[in-house]
Structure 1
Amino acid sequence: MIVQNLDLMDPKRFADGIPYEHFRHLRDCAPVSRGTDTDGEPLWHVVRHQDVSAVSRDARTFSSSPTTMTSIRKVDPSPPIITFLDSPEHTRVRKLTFKVFAPSRLAALKVPVRGIVDLLLDEAREKGEFDLAEDIALRLPFEVLLELLDIPRRDRTTMLGWARRTVNLGDKEYGDDTGPDAFQQIHAYLNDFAHHRAAHPADDCFSLLLNARLNGAERLGLPDRLTPDEVGLFASTLVTAGIETTYCSVTGGVLALLDHPDELARLRADRRLLPTAAAEVLRWVTPVTHFARRPVADTEIAGQPVAAGEKTVLWYSSANRDERVFTDPDRFDIGRSPNPQLSFGGGGPHVCIGNGLAVLELREFLDGVADLLPLLELAEPPVRPETNFMNSVKHLRLRFR
């Protein structure tokens, strides 16, 4: 049954999964509709693919400052992370950090990423029964990112504990106030590490970021290099955001393949489908359900007047199931093409800077796990968190038959 007045800002409404029927109703009847955040602030829900993409690309009209977060995630780090910056500051940070994700660096990570995937899967085999969310989905992006950043191995167990507390923020199992503290602990560690690298350069990403220079920055009146504090903050954002996205796509992708054995058989028979399979997993799962923007001037979205400063929530989970764009959107199809999914944002300057790394991790995982999945079954029903920000599964216990 469609609930006409469902509160999309209430995390409890997502405890059983994304309310796709409600989003379908909104797309048909109210593509831009009124809502209220948990603190009483009025906002607009934007649910169609065309409108989500248009707002995302129009960075001149729609600002990401002071935050793109809603609900319980409206804690703003100071100074603001790259996600919360507008140009020219956003452009400066993005250009100075782009080399971390250059194609040559990503290509060099393919073998190490696959090695991490194989190691985690081997550990799962040895256990016989395991929690995919805790044992693989959380650890895979964490190990990749800390390898990328060259974090000392003696500190990784502690950092993994902090990282675990940043996912599924708002769920009672993780506590209502531990997430921001965990981010601050990660930030403090990586900030100290950035200052250490500034004094003791090495052949790693921290030194690459510290040595980067931006041509023409003086014309904009902006610094041409990142400070150690800026590098530490960027690395903290990279770790937390990078873990969350892969965490959701790995668990959601496995569930999708188990629920659609014909599609799993297609993938096992033809690994050339890995690129489209990864894109379909990202569309199907949509790890980040939404972000927010604020117009800097009075404007319209799909004919609906929106006043300057009014929070506008872009629902990627709805846009990725829009019947106006995707044929049979509720069908999981690993060969779907074209597939203009918006899981890394709707395009424009704020599209996720680490999307190439996230896709690499997902492809290597799908390639590694495909032949194991026929041997696996659910040991317990999946457990979802109470959060409206990430489409995640916090516990997914599997066992070998």
Structure 2
Amino acid sequence: MAQSPPTAGALPDISDIDLSDNEFWKQPLEERHAAFARLRAHPPQFFAEPDMGPLPPGPGYYALVTHADVAEASREPGVFASQPSAISIPDMPPDFAEYFGSLINLDDPRHARLRRVVSRGFTPRMLTRLQEDVERHAARIADDLRETGPCDFVSRVAARLPLVVICEMMGIPEERHREVLENSNVVLAGNDPEYLGDDAETAMTRLLEAGENLSRLLAELAAQRRAEPTSDLTSALVNANVDGESLTDQELGSFFILLAVAGNETTRNAISHGLRLLTENPKQRELLWSDFETHAPGAVEEIVRHASPVVWMRRTLTRDHEMNGHTFREGDKTLLYYASANRDSAVFEDPDTFDITRKPNPHLGFGGPGPHFCLGAHLARREVTVMLRELHRSVPTIRAAAPPKRLASNFVNGIKSMPCEF
């Protein structure tokens, strides 16, 4: 994707870039980011929607790739709406979108109502209570790793911590943890045939089955907690009454799908990318290891910025609107590319460099400002911090032994496997 330097006053050529082509997302990360850098020099570009098999072709979308555009669209939910879908480019049936997206696919007042109820699980008091659990599980994972020796880092380390934390938050028995992991893998599989098969019909069937499995699991647990309340999050949610409001069974199931997928998969990928980045940048690793407590907060933020585990979210225009010199029309679809905004040289100096001392670091890795900022951001930060701390304690020489095997997805910057050695 190397380009000749543009002539004075000319914009770089972008005719070879198609964000809806699956082949684009198979390119090395460096080539993708170089393409986004060229796109950022232009006004928002329009792309045709990808072929989704049984779904009718949609009207296409504008790619928002600058930090300014993504941040402003995030601050204007009344104009850039999450309904009918924030997580799919095509318009899914409304029930399907809400089933898999929960509050991510909703606007106020329903979004505010649902978030108000589920926020009970993410209060400072609840997170403080979780801290000891996170530390205990991370220490056990690191100690197990030292005993196991070189292995796949994703399955042995990165995937285990967020999975067990979320399952224990919800009160899910240990024998069903793998069921949660396997089904959440399918829900966020993107276009990866390893999880979804080779054709659209099979993919849709597997996706629906995975969602139903997760929803059914929580329905069983919810029935138990209504009869015998406990101290876990499931019990708090099914018995919640916030200003006279509680969750329906459908809302509860959809929220669990969101929690299992967003809380598990994205944190797993942040931990995996963390090891990759520290391996590829040994001086940054040496700096972090030299004074972990001082540099850990900056390291976690830089990992999230540099990796951008969630690549984009969709918004739909509720009315005609002008933003940063571009006029959008009612009904236009836009994709907010966090992965591009987090490399915008107008905001980040030397944006492709991994720098754990970067200050300020106003990345959008947890979503832009506004009502859809990630509900679990504080928990994710704690999990990544604690896991890195335990690796430093238990296996300080750990490094990625080979390039990662990446998820075939344009939505999640996922790592399926990555060998480690120490």
User: Do the aligned partners of residues 207 and 377 (structure 1) sit closer, same or farther apart at CA in structure 2, a change above 3 Å counting?
Assistant: closer
Listed as ranges, the matches of 1:204-283 within 5 Å are: 204-215=232-243, 224-270=245-291, 271-283=293-305
Q: How far off its partner does 1:190 sit?
A: 1.0
Q: 1:187 aligns with which of 215, 240, 260?
A: 215
- Take 1:144 and 1:11, find their aligned partners in 2: how far apart are those partners? 33
Q: Is there any run of 5+ residues in structure 1 with no aligned partner, and where?
A: 216-222
Q: How far off its partner does 1:373 sit?
A: 6.2
Q: Does 1:46 align with 2:67?
A: no
Q: 2:47 aligns with which of 28, 31, 35?
A: 35
- Take 2:416 and 2:124, find their aligned partners in 1: how far apart are those partners? 32
Q: How far off its partner does 1:336 sit?
A: 1.2
186-195 or 284-293: bigger deviation: 186-195
Q: Is there any run of 5+ residues in structure 2 with no aligned partner, and where?
A: 4-13, 52-56, 198-202
Partner of residue 54, structure 2: none
63-72 or 354-363: bigger deviation: 63-72
Q: How far off its partner does 1:13 sit?
A: 1.8
AA of the residue aligned to 1:139: R
CA contact (8 A) 2:226 2:239 kept: no
270-279 or 46-55: bigger deviation: 270-279
Partner of residue 56, structure 1: 74
CA contact (8 A) 1:81 1:237 kept: yes
99-108 or 285-294: bigger deviation: 99-108
Q: Compute the TM-score of the two structures, normalised by the length of structure 1.
A: 0.92
Q: Does 1:173 align with 2:184?
A: no
Q: What SS is found at the alignment partner of 2:24? A: helix
RCO greater where, 1 or 2, for CA within 8 Å and sep 6 or more? 1
TM-superposition CA deviations, 1:83-131 (whole Å, max 9, x none): 1111000000111111200011111111211111122222222221211
CA contact (8 A) 2:214 2:256 kept: no
Q: What SS is found at the alignment partner of 1:51? A: helix
Q: How far off its partner does 1:371 sit?
A: 5.0
- Take 1:334 and 1:72, find their aligned partners in 2: how far apart are those partners? 37
CA contact (8 A) 2:84 2:91 kept: no
CA contact (8 A) 2:97 2:105 kept: no
User: Do the aligned partners of residues 371 and 25 (structure 1) sit closer, same or farther apart at CA in structure 2, a change above 3 Å counting?
Assistant: farther
- Take 2:320 and 2:222, find their aligned partners in 1: how far apart are those partners? 41
Partner of residue 166, structure 2: 145
CA contact (8 A) 1:145 1:239 kept: yes
Q: How far off its partner does 1:138 sit?
A: 1.7
User: Do the aligned partners of residues 73 and 105 (structure 1) sit closer, same or farther apart at CA in structure 2, a change above 3 Å counting?
Assistant: farther
Partner of residue 344, structure 2: 322
- Take 1:262 and 1:70, find their aligned partners in 2: how far apart are those partners? 39
Partner of residue 11, structure 2: none
- Take 2:392 and 2:83, find their aligned partners in 1: how far apart are those partners? 41
Q: How far off its partner does 1:133 sit?
A: 1.6
Partner of residue 220, structure 1: none
- Take 2:364 and 2:102, find their aligned partners in 1: how far apart are those partners? 21
Q: 1:4 aligns with which of 15, 18, 24?
A: 15
Q: Does 1:387 align with 2:421?
A: no
Give the number of aligned pairs.
392
CA contact (8 A) 1:32 1:301 kept: no
Partner of residue 113, structure 1: 134
Q: How far off its partner does 1:377 sit?
A: 4.2
TM-superposition CA deviations, 1:245-302 (whole Å, max 9, x none): 1121111111110111111111111121111111111001100000000011111232
Instruction: Name the Cα RMSD after superposition.
Output: 2.0
- Take 1:129 and 1:73, find their aligned partners in 2: how far apart are those partners? 44
191-200 or 56-65: bigger deviation: 191-200
156-165 or 255-264: bigger deviation: 156-165
Listed as ranges, the matches of 1:300-319 within 5 Å are: 300-319=322-341
AA of the residue aligned to 1:13: F
CA contact (8 A) 2:39 2:65 kept: yes
Q: 2:119 aligns with which of 92, 98, 105?
A: 98
Q: What SS is found at the alignment partner of 1:5? A: coil
377-386 or 231-240: bigger deviation: 377-386
Q: 1:291 aligns with which of 313, 317, 341?
A: 313
Partner of residue 347, structure 1: 369
Q: What SS is found at the alignment partner of 1:375? A: coil
Q: Does 1:357 align with 2:375?
A: no
- Take 1:10 and 1:133, find their aligned partners in 2: how far apart are those partners? 28
AA of the residue aligned to 2:238: L
AA of the residue aligned to 2:63: H
